[in-house]
Amino acid sequence: MLSSEEIIQLIQSLIWLLAGVGIFIVGMNFMSSSLEKGAGAGMKKMLEKISNNRFSGVCIGAGVTAIVQSSSATSVMVIGLVNAGVMTLVQATSIIMGANVGTTITGILVALKNDYFNMAMYLLAFIGVMLTFLQKEKAKIAGNLCCGLGLIFVGLNIMSSEEAFGNPLVEEMFTGIFSKIDFPVLLIVVGIIFTALIQSSSAATGVVITMVGTGVLPLDMALFIVLGANIGTCVTAMLASVGAKPNSKRVAFIHFVFNFIGTVLFTAIIWIFKDPVVDLLSTAFPGSDPMALQMRVSAFHVIFNVSTTALLLPFVKQLVKLSCVVIKDQKKEEKLTLKYVDDRLLSTPPVALMQVKKEIDYMIELVEDNTRMSFVAIDSRSLEYDEKIRKNEEVIDFTNSTLTQFLIKLSANVEESDEKAIGSYFHVLNDLERVGDHAENFHEIGVEMIHKDISFSDKAMGGIDLLRQNIMVMFSISKEAFKNLNKNQLGELTSLEENVDEMKKELIANHFARLAEGNCSADVSPYYSSLILGLERVADHLVNVGYSIVNPTGSQKPEP
């Protein structure tokens, strides 16, 4: 029976332990967000190279996870990309496998800690704090990264200090607890629950490694808890897939099945050959010092994830088929969704920004198609594209409003250099939506003229065609400029817009001259004027879109 003084000491030690875990997790989050911001361009390049090659998928998954230091974050990002239709299930499966390999880096870092390493990390944390006071954004990102890395080891050392695990009372308490649950399945369940609660297998593994280093947790029991942590990390992905499309739910299911199969296989091996496995790890990392003890757990974590990936990589298609059998397609009413963007990508701003640009590229294509089709009713007196134009316009309006809301949410999380891009995207969306409205108006003019059985004269149509040709060339240049950040033809874009202004004046003047001479019907006059003025405004918006790559302020056209 503990005395009141011993109970107080035990409570104090547990508070120290919880504080250490909290600081460790804060450090992980600091480092993760800083790495994500600082290496955003590299992460974008990796994701842009997504292919059906399984090995490249594993490498991309491992690389992205090494950047964000969280397999859960990678899984959520992959679910978002699958839900947006950007990534296939086969591609997602290999990336998820790679993510499990990439997440082992944290365990290796934790296992390397010793007195000298700790002192260096403390100094790094101090340097990081100092860097955050600088004005330059890159210095602040580097500061947060250093601070996060340092805090990880501050947290680990608080956990392993005399005040926490160093207290004999705490050691006795945990020894008693683990003696009562010294059964593989129970230990795996502990790993699952603990990881699910803190939402990070890296953090859970780090705590287990520290406990082994302090001698509180025997190695043979720690291995089963680490296995459970790999299943527990699937909870984040499962939560992220709630309310998503069937394919996104399949990604979460595959993630779970992958870790479950690996855990079952390794549980069987360790359960049967526990002593040889422990002896092998002890031989590989001899000694009784904390680093040797910790490296044994870290090495096992690496072996588990690499082996499971190597074993299941040939069966990617079979895993995908299994997920399709378990999770059926749902027959629901079709509703509009963005093609490349999903709210789950908000957790990774660099990737989200990359997908926003793809969505706007797609919107430009729709607006261009509608502008081209809108004149069929005028040229050929045909309603062939009536339904398609209306559907495209519905998508254009939806994309504008939904993507604007997404950008508002995204703007709170991006670094300063990306704020300009977001500002530019707001203006481009507005310009494209206005062009889409003009295209719809052009089509409605054609429809109304068909119903009234009136048409333009050959001279009037000749002027409209010439103006329209200039507009379509401007479309091509603006699209190329925005899509590929190509500034080479912006001068030509400006010249074309100036030509359109002059042509508008000339065409309007000629039209009124024909009216005065009686060579043009007054019935078509409002339609003709609306077309000419509408085309001239389209030209203005296209200049804005093209120049958005050099001036994101909303007034893109250069001053004369």
Number of helices (H) and strands (E), helices first, in the chain? 24, 0
Q: Which of the listed CATH numbers 1.10.150.120, 1.20.58.220, 3.90.650.10, 2.40.50.100 matches domain 348-547?
A: 1.20.58.220
- pLDDT score for 470: 92
Give me the helices (H) in 39-114, please. Answer: 40-48, 54-68, 71-83, 89-102, 104-111
- pLDDT score for 558: 47
* Strand (E) or helix (H) holding 173: helix 168-180
Q: Please provide the DSSP assignment of 254-307 as one string.
A: HHHHHHHHHHHHHHHHHHHSHHHHHHHHHHHS-SSSHHHHHHHHHHHHHHHHHH
- pLDDT score for 37: 65
Using alpha carbons, list the distances in angstroms from residue 391 to 60, 217, 385, 495.
37, 63, 10, 33
Rounded-to-integer distance, Cα 303 and Cα 357, Å: 39
Residues 6+ away with beta carbon under 8 Å from 338: 84, 359, 399, 402, 403, 406
Using alpha carbons, list the distances in angstroms from residue 330 to 32, 247, 325, 336.
36, 11, 13, 16
C-alpha closest to that of 396 among 422, 426, 360, 442: 360
Side chain identity at 407, as an amino acid letter?
Answer: L
**Packing angle of the helix pair 115-131, 137-159 (nearest 10 deg):** 150
Would you write out the chain's pLDDT as a tens digit for each of its 560 residues? 667 887 888 888 888 888 888 888 888 777 767 766 665 556 666 666 676 788 888 888 888 777 666 777 778 778 877 877 778 888 889 988 988 888 888 788 778 776 777 788 888 888 988 888 887 877 888 888 888 888 888 887 887 777 777 677 777 787 788 888 889 999 999 999 988 887 778 778 888 888 888 888 899 999 999 999 989 888 877 887 777 788 888 988 999 999 999 999 999 999 999 899 999 999 998 888 888 888 999 999 999 999 999 999 999 999 999 999 998 877 655 678 888 888 888 877 888 888 899 999 999 999 999 999 998 888 888 888 899 999 999 999 999 999 999 999 998 877 777 788 898 999 999 999 999 999 999 999 989 988 888 888 888 888 889 999 999 999 999 999 998 888 888 899 999 999 999 999 998 888 888 877 777 777 888 888 899 999 999 999 999 999 988 766 554 454 43
Say which DSSP state 559 is in: P
Longest dimension (CA), the chain: 113
290: its two tokens? 């904390």
**Packing angle of the helix pair 246-272, 274-284 (nearest 10 deg):** 90
First-to-last C-alpha distance (Å) of the chain: 88
Classify the C-alpha dihedral 302-305-309-311 as positive or negative: positive
Q: Are 471 and 371 in contact (CB under 8 A)?
A: yes
Q: Are 428 and 482 in contact (CB under 8 A)?
A: yes
Rounded-to-integer distance, Cα 440 and Cα 349, Å: 34
Q: Which residue has 């339904």 as its token pair?
A: 387
Rounded-to-integer distance, Cα 186 and Cα 182, Å: 7
Question: Domain segments of the chain: what residues?
Answer: 14-326, 348-547
